[in-house]
Amino acid sequence: MKVDMKDSAYFKHNGSLDEEPAATFKDWMERHQYDPEHGKNEPVALPPSQGTIGAAPTAVPPTTPATTATTPQ
């Protein structure tokens, strides 16, 4: 069996494992100034005017570090 992992971010949220494209998670990290590899361990909450439509007004960090990977093929 060969497993190829790339282009997705996995994180634990509300007790379940969630997956999203790595680019989407990277954009979220940049907007919230969240980068644990460089000492930015807590995301910064955005004012409601800078958030996306339907998004929560405060930042919610993932409960475990994100891993870049994809599902097995």
pLDDT value of position 66 = 54
DSSP string covering 4-48: ---SEEEEEETTEEEEEEHHHHHHHHHHTT-BGGGTB-SPPPPPT
pTM: predicted TM-score of the whole model, two decimal places: 0.52
Q: CB–CB of 59/34 below 8 Å? A: yes
| 30-65 tens-digit pLDDT | 999 989 888 988 888 887 765 554 444 445 555 555
Residue 16 has pLDDT above 60, yes or no: yes
